[in-house]
Amino acid sequence: MPNKLKRTELHELGEFRLIDHLTQNAKATNDSTILGVGDDAAVIDPAGKRMVVTTDLLLEGVHFDLTYFPIRHLGYKAVIVNLSDVYAMNATPKQITVSLGISKRFCLEDLDELYNGIYLACEKYGVDLVGGDTSTSYTGLTISVTAIGEANENELCYRSGAKVNDLICVTGNLGAAYMGLQLLEREKKVFEGNPNVKPQFTGWDYILERFLKPEARRPILEKLRALGIKPNAMIDISDGLSSEAMHICKNSKVGCRIYLEKLPIDQQTFKIAEEMGIDAIVAALNGGEDYELLFTVPIEQHDKVLGMEGVSIIGHITAENTGAFLITPDDKEIQLKAQGWNAIVEKE
């Protein structure tokens, strides 16, 4: 007979033993981490720098579906989405806390897998796990991660710093994560109709990874610093390019022109979008979860930015009274609308 997978029920440990178990591998590597896990609160000393703090809440059934989401990847992604926000401030993430709401459906081995992903992200990005909490949940799995970063005051970037004639730049490519999600949802429906049918994922590794295991864009910030470029405004693309561009316009009190033909879209995104009858441009504008960086730089930096691998110049900032528009290849103007992910929706 095949070996039965070990399953340790969480009630066998209790809350405090569970926390001890999950955090036993938490080691401090940053000088600013004075005290991590093990007391009533962590102690952090930013040593004269500005501290930035961000939190993301991930809810089962809203933000992720464990039917197709490997739980280790989920732990990794839960950290990355927070680190991306810190990098978008042009800061360096140093610590995280992780809090969980756990239903009886999950066992200790499940949480070990989740934390394997969390620790992998911490190790890759040089971040310390310094605390958190656990509680019973009656509605599935809830993950709340708080990330803490630091930066010199003059290094911080805000959404409110864009200036007229700035170049609008974006890292990587857009729409791949959204199309990865669409593929997963399609194959889930097929499986529900016939469990004997194998999912058709061959050849789609890139878009699946963009959704299931995204990366934060730390290398781009390192390149910008090496070139002596500080963005005037910056934001990470979690809710879709259109929504994020509108955030910069609103906070900076400016307008913009973004050129559709300049949007960076991977060929695999185009291919699956065509197969599924979805406009790849719409996916790029409104899909979200790309975790790329959208930023503006002075026009004087054009040549430097143009020579950067992994960065595309997609438009420019205009005066507020000119509005925010997309420009088509035949020079038609389409008003930009924030149509990306909305975290607060009415339940059907």
140-179 confidence digits (pLDDT tens):
899 999 999 999 999 999 999 999 999 999 999 999 999 9
Residue 199 pLDDT: 83
Length of the chain: 348
Q: What angle do CA 344, 52, 251 make, to 5 degrees?
A: 55
**Residues above pLDDT 70, as percent of the chain:** 90
Strands (DSSP E) contained in 127-253 are 128-136, 142-151, 167-171, 233-237
- Residue 344 above 70 pLDDT? no
Read off the pLDDT of each residue in 269-279 and give the average, rounded to a whole number.
96
Amino acid code (one letter) for 240: G
- Residue 346 above 70 pLDDT? no
For the chain, domains (ranges, CATH) are 10-154 (3.30.1330.10), 159-335 (3.90.650.10)
Spatial contact of 93 and 148, defined as CB atoms under 8 Å apart: yes
Greatest Cα-to-Cα distance within the chain, rounded to the nearest angstrom? 73
- Residue 109 above 70 pLDDT? yes
Q: What is the rounded end-to-end Cα distance, in angstroms, of the chain? A: 46
The tens digit of pLDDT for each residue in 289-302 reads 999 999 999 999 99
What is the number of other CB atoms lying within 10 angstroms of the CB of residue 79? 27
pTM: 0.90
CA–CA dist 230, 269 (Å, integer): 31
HSE (side-chain half, CA atoms, 13 Å) at 311:
27
